[in-house]
Structure 1
Amino acid sequence: MMTVRIGTVWDSTQQVLAGRTGMLAPIAAIGFVLPALVQVLLLPREPGISVGVAGVVMTFVSLVLGIWAQLAIMAVATHPSTTTADASRAGLRRLLAVLGVAIAMGIVFAIVVLVPILVLGASGYDFAAAMAANGDPSKLPPMTSGSALFLIVYGLVVGVASLWLVARLMLVYAVVLNERRELGAIRRSIALTRGMTWRLIGVFALFLIVLTVATSAAQGITGAVLRLMLGPDGAPVAVTVATLVAAVVSAGFMTLAYVFVARLYVAATGEEARLAGDGSPSL
């Protein structure tokens, strides 16, 4: 049984953030803030306007930059001797491997989402009428009692399984980065997080709540203040600046999250080595 203490991991996370902020900030700015800035400045914000090919390309580039930043941040937080250049190269080297793992997990997720759609289709559900309802519950077509019961049970099972997976797959990217694994990183992450499921679910839930509240507050307060200062004509500027402020706040929290994941990986592998009795030091 693992004896990794979340409090110890958090203390280690704070030490890394305090000592290596100068290295982490540029990575977070490039991987998390820059894509948000480009999207705010170049993509249309009005609903119903197509973003076109440029929008799709920009979304893909943002995804790649985000994954690179995740890997680089974890590289900085995993090994004390890692430089910014080392971290950047490590992120680039393992980028395709992480994309492959992410695509594989995305395919599984798509299948999970497709199952209830197939069940509803088999039961004769009117999807055309559902789309025409435009989200209005009172206009949605009825479904059979059997389909409704299946969706309830299926949703509960998927919800519980998702919480379990969030905790047990938390170290997948860290394993891909440090152990040169691809799909095998999934099994490895599950093994490393054994005995920590409920604690990691709690950490994830707390992080999600704090992130949501902080980013929403930052965006809402900034937008409100700027609207008061600039007046009605300055609304577009207020929205743009508020969105960027929220992106900066979000980038800070994402950096904290990936430093935490890296330190959790170090703690888990160090504890594994100790239990194995080989005397291997932590990374």
Structure 2
Amino acid sequence: MASISIGKAWEESVAFVARESTLLLPVALLFVALPGLILQEMVPPELTQWMLTQTKTTLPPVGPSFWAALFITVVVIWFGSLTLFALALRPGISVGEALRLSIARLPVLLGTALLLIGLFSAVVLVGAILVAILTLVSPAVAAFLVGVLTLAFGVALIFASVRLVLLNPVVIDGTLGVRDSIRHAWALTRGHVWRLLAFLLLLTIVSAIVSTAAQTVIGALAGLVAGPDAARLTGSIAGALVSTVVQLYMLVMIARLYRQAEA
């Protein structure tokens, strides 16, 4: 098991982004920031209200076009992340070469996602069947079990996310298939769960704080000049740009941690 250093990864990432920003930023803006911003503008108002209040137990009716757009956006962002990982892991590679490599390896990443979603869906289905059976016997026990299973599923999801945080670099840097990529990414993070969890939590909190601050401040300034509609749009753009920059550093750091773990 190789040792990893978050501090070393951060120093290398800062130097790399400063040196290669002209290659990295256009890719990040085009394939990460722009798709997310377009999707944000496509979210139906009733869905936005539900996410803010969650007063209803079920989702409001949303047309299939939104779910299709959501799927396309996720695929485009994954493609962009693979391209950024290719640029970070292979010094000297051109953007065109990174894009072609990402296109070639994107089916493997999609396959890993489908496999993992299938596994978690199977676990949820088994839990739902068990709860349904217990409900017939004892509703109180079933309700308690729902709480326990929900907590366990959340913990398992976080644990799996941390153990597979190096999956994208594994996919883009090698020639492994779907299952072997998952196994290799899982093996690389063995013994580093707590350190990687702290790293991911810290960057997630920082991203949320700075993007919200940028959205609020820039939106407020735009609102003073051009009104509420301009405030909302300008704030969304500012938040997306700042969030993308933070994500760029995070992706480069993950690439550096992957190199350390591979050693």
Instruction: Tell me the CA shift for residue 204 of structure 1.
Output: 1.0
User: What amino acid maps onto 1:236 in structure 2?
Assistant: D
**Contact 1:30–1:65 (CA under 8 A) maintained in structure 2:** no
TM-score, normalization by structure 1: 0.79
Of the candidates 159, 168, 187, which is equivalent to residue 163 of structure 2? 168
User: What amino acid maps onto 1:19 in structure 2?
Assistant: R
Of the candidates 182, 185, 189, which is equivalent to residue 186 of structure 1? 182
Asked if 1:24 corresponds to 2:24, the answer is yes
User: What amino acid maps onto 1:239 in structure 2?
Assistant: R
Asked if 1:248 corresponds to 2:235, the answer is no
Of the candidates 196, 202, 224, which is equivalent to residue 192 of structure 2? 196
CA-based RMSD of the aligned residues comes to 2.3
| Matched residue, 2:259 | 266
Q: 236-245 or 217-226, which moves further after superposition?
A: 217-226
SS at match of 1:195: coil
Higher helix share: 2
Instruction: Tell me the CA shift for residue 115 of structure 1.
Output: 4.5
**Contact 2:39–2:73 (CA under 8 A) maintained in structure 1:** no
**Contact 1:219–1:242 (CA under 8 A) maintained in structure 2:** yes
Long gaps (5+) in structure 1: 126-142, 271-283
Instruction: Tell me the CA shift for residue 40 of structure 1.
Output: 4.9
Of the candidates 68, 71, 78, which is equivalent to residue 60 of structure 1? 71
| Matched residue, 1:98 | 109
Long gaps (5+) in structure 2: 48-59
**Contact 1:9–1:263 (CA under 8 A) maintained in structure 2:** yes
Aligned pair in 2 of structure 1 residues 112, 220: CA closer, same or farther (>3 Å)? farther
Instruction: Tell me the CA shift for residue 163 of structure 1.
Output: 3.1
Larger radius of gyration: 1
How do 1:21-170 and structure 2 match up within 5 A? 21-40=21-40, 43=42, 45-47=44-46, 52-124=63-135, 144-170=139-165
SS at match of 1:47: helix
Asked if 1:222 corresponds to 2:218, the answer is yes
| Matched residue, 2:207 | 211
Aligned pair in 2 of structure 1 residues 121, 24: CA closer, same or farther (>3 Å)? same
CA distance in 2, matches of 1:199, 1:147: 36
String of CA shifts for 1:202-229, please: whole Å, max 9, x gaps. Answer: 1011111111212222222233333333
Instruction: Tell me the CA shift for residue 251 of structure 1.
Output: 1.3
CA distance in 2, matches of 1:144, 1:156: 19
Instruction: Tell me the CA shift for residue 94 of structure 1.
Output: 0.5
TM-score, normalization by structure 2: 0.85
CA distance in 2, matches of 1:255, 1:72: 11
Instruction: Tell me the CA shift for residue 175 of structure 1.
Output: 0.9
Instruction: Tell me the CA shift for residue 7 of structure 1.
Output: 1.4
CA distance in 1, matches of 2:125, 2:252: 34
**Contact 2:32–2:77 (CA under 8 A) maintained in structure 1:** yes
CA distance in 1, matches of 2:234, 2:133: 48
User: What amino acid maps onto 1:240 in structure 2?
Assistant: L
SS at match of 2:45: coil
User: What amino acid maps onto 2:203 in structure 1?
Assistant: F
CA distance in 1, matches of 2:64, 2:148: 39
